[in-house]
């Protein structure tokens, strides 16, 4: 055989081998995808087991499989609040379900509105004579907001339960920027738009303190009212007024202190808790492991009960996360993506539209792109309702302006009607390094913006005029949409942040209510009676590989780091330290990566997804990394 023939035979063999390999990988992936999908056949008599590992969100983010596998980091689990509510409500009337169990061992939190909605569903299940039990090694504020609605709250004997209340500290970088000779040029309108204060001050201004204090005070009162109504025996004042004395009174035993204060009902390990559930829901016929009990998990149960599809279609568009330009999301509100969803829905013969907002805002241009797309539905005479979740502030309020009626909860954070921009220049840092900028300009704007030589007064004035004009447009838009004089809007604007109750008094929202209330209102406006309509969530599609990738990456990460970031007081403290790293990275990105005018409520509490972002997520690069490292010390 000639040399060329041998080479050709080798190449053919390599080709055949690669084809077989790719076919094998394809069928393995196909099997994994199919097996990862929820299977309604897994539902059986017993308990409904809801393992809240991770965070509760309005909209699940999309998992990038390549990034997840290459980073080898376990993504934070996400659970849609409405899925949990729907499952618990269905379980309340399902003869197969004997009890509802919430495993909060690795729960990381959720927004106050979402957790109150889940708590209300737990109350409805209890009213239907279905026991509701929770178990955790550590209970914090968000855990207790859920657990207070349970019929039995179990705590591991080595665990801890505490309630800290809202609030805390923010980081201020003015001193650091001065040391680095970085000039943070700030453009804003209003005394209360405190989003820029971390870059211009070393402490909170009196105006910001007064506004945020009022907001947190209202949220705290709402929290206390919800928890104490659900759990009257809880000695909340004792737990929060002097926690050191409370713990000392129990001899330093934090689990015992939690039991005595009424935070929990039972102390027991997982095996003892499981035995109790087995008494209520039945033993697991397939397992003899300690603590095993008959149960159906959340995803298969949701797949089994399905969703109503009959009657008129009420569209729901979700605006969740920071509003940004482009196609980002779900989990981030990409303006172009959401506008395209809305425009595509114009051909779907929707009877009405509900805009669900759970966002602190962001890009003004993206917010306006979304607002215009919603307005196109109004122009077609389609009824439009707006439902606020945990946060609908700044740009999150901007997008609500085409709505005929705005629904919010008392614990909703809204307002923040204001805009700002922060642009860093490095003339001071350059001079320290011996770099100077010089040249010839024909006009005051020649060569501007100059990030090394600095901005001319004309450039500064131009930026500030742009901010002022956008703010006036924002106020005028609100005044027109809400049917009130501009001066009344101005009194509630200037970046001030409000709780839902105050916002209703100010006329920024119309009535209290959740998503279901907004859907019912929209259906009524469309002439659909109760039971003659169903919700259609625009753009919603299940990523078939998502569950599989999460399982693979999570299993690998758990094998490399078997100790979970939960449990005793010190483990919970370590989780807070991880959150601090994420906060520093976010603040650095906001300074050095901001594009365009921002209608963003940076002073609002961080969303669960932001607060628990893994350290590997969106790591800053270049100058951003230097600033984040310096700020982190």
241 is catalytic: no
302 token code pair: 């949701």
Q: Name the helix (H) or strand (E) containing 9.
A: helix 3-36
- Compute the CA torsion angle 359, 58, 558, 144 (nearest 10 deg): 100
Residue 437 main-chain phi, psi, to 5 deg:
-105, 135
> How far is Cα 457 from Cα 194, in angstroms, rounded to an integer?
24
394 is catalytic: yes
28 token code pair: 């393995």
What number of residues does the chain have?
633
User: From the candidates 194, 394, 547, 607, which is the catalytic residue?
Assistant: 394
User: From the candidates 193, 359, 363, 607, which is the catalytic residue?
Assistant: 193
Query: Reading across the β-sheet that carries 333-334, which strands appear in turn?
Result: 183-188, 420-425, 598-600, 361-363, 323-324, 333-334
8 token code pair: 């050709």
CB 370 within 8 A of CB 323: yes
Residue 305 main-chain phi, psi, to 5 deg:
-80, -25
Q: What is the DSSP letter of 605?
A: P
> How far is Cα 583 from Cα 171, in angstroms, rounded to an integer?
9
Strands 533-537, 312-320: parallel, antiparallel or unpaired by DSSP? parallel
State the Cα angle at 156 between 155 and 157, rounded to 5°.
110
> How far is Cα 243 from Cα 236, in angstroms, rounded to an integer?
10
Reduced to 3 states (helix: H, G, I; strand: E, B; else coil), residue 132 is strand
Reduced to 3 states (helix: H, G, I; strand: E, B; else coil), residue 31 is helix
Look at residues 180, 178, 176, 200 and name the one whose alpha carbon lies nearest to residue 188.
Answer: 200
Active site residues: 193, 394
């Amino acid at each position: 055989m000639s040399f060329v023939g041998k080479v050709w035979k080798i190449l053919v063999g390599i080709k055949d081998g690669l084809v077989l390999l790719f076919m094998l990988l394809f069928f393995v992936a196909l099997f994994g995808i199919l097996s990862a999908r929820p299977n309604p056949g897994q539902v059986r008599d017993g308990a409904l087991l809801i393992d809240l590992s991770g965070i509760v969100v309005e909209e699940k983010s999309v998992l990038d499989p390549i990034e997840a596998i290459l980073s080898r980091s376990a993504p934070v689990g996400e659970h849609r609040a409405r899925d949990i509510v729907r499952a618990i409500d269905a379980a309340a009337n399902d003869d197969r379900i004997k009890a509802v169990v919430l495993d909060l061992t690795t729960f990381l939190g959720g927004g106050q509105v979402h957790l109150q909605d889940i708590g209300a569903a737990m109350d409805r299940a209890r009213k239907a004579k279905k026991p509701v039990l929770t178990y955790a090694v550590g209970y914090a504020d968000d855990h207790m907001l859920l657990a207070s609605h349970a019929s039995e709250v179990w705590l591991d004997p080595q665990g801890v339960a505490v309630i800290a209340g809202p609030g805390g500290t923010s980081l201020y970088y003015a001193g650091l920027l001065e040391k680095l000779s970085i000039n943070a040029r700030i453009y804003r309108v209003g005394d209360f738009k405190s989003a820029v204060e971390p870059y211009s001050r070393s402490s909170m201004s009196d105006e910001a303190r007064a506004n945020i204090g009022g907001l947190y005070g209202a949220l705290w009162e709402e929290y206390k009212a919800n928890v104490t109504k659900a759990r009257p025996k809880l000695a909340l004042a004792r737990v929060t007024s002097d926690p050191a004395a409370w713990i000392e009174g129990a001899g330093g035993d934090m689990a015992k202190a939690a039991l005595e204060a009424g935070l929990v009902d039972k102390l027991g390990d997982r095996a003892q808790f499981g035995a109790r559930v087995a008494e209520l829901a039945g033993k697991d016929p397939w397992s003899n492991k300690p603590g095993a009990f008959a149960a159906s998990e959340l995803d298969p149960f949701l797949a089994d009960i399905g969703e109503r599809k009959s009657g008129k279609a009420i569209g729901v568009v979700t605006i969740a996360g920071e509003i940004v330009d482009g196609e980002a999301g779900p989990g981030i509100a990409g303006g172009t993506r959401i506008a395209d969803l809305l425009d595509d829905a114009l051909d779907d013969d929707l009877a009405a539209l509900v805009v669900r907002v759970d966002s602190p805002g962001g890009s003004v241009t993206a917010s306006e792109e979304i607002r215009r797309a919603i307005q196109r539905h109004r122009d077609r005479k389609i009824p439009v309702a707006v439902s606020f979740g945990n946060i609908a502030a700044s740009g999150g309020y901007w997008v609500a302006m085409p709505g005929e009626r705005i629904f919010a909860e008392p614990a909703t954070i809204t307002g923040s009607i204001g805009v700002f921009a922060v642009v860093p220049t490095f003339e001071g840092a350059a001079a320290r390094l011996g770099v100077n900028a010089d040249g010839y300009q024909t006009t005051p704007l020649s060569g501007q913006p100059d990030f090394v030589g600095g901005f001319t007064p004309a450039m500064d004035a131009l930026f500030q005029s742009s901010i002022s004009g956008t703010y006036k447009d924002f106020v005028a838009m609100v005044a027109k949409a809400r049917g009130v004089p501009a001066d009344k809007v101005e009194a509630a604007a200037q970046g001030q942040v409000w709780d839902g109750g105050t916002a209703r008094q100010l006329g920024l929202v119309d009535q209290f209510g959740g998503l279901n209330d907004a859907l019912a209102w929209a259906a009524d406006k469309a002439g659909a009676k109760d039971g003659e309509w169903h919700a259609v969530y625009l753009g919603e599609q299940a990523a078939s590989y998502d569950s599989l990738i999460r399982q693979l990456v999570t299993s690998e990460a758990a094998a490399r780091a078997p100790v979970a970031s939960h449990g005793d007081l010190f483990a919970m403290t370590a989780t807070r330290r991880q959150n601090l790293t994420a906060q520093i990275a976010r603040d650095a990105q906001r300074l050095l990566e901001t594009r365009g005018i921002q209608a963003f409520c940076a002073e609002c509490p961080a969303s669960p997804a932001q607060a628990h972002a893994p350290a590997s997520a969106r790591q800053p690069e270049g100058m951003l990394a230097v600033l984040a490292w310096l700020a982190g010390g």
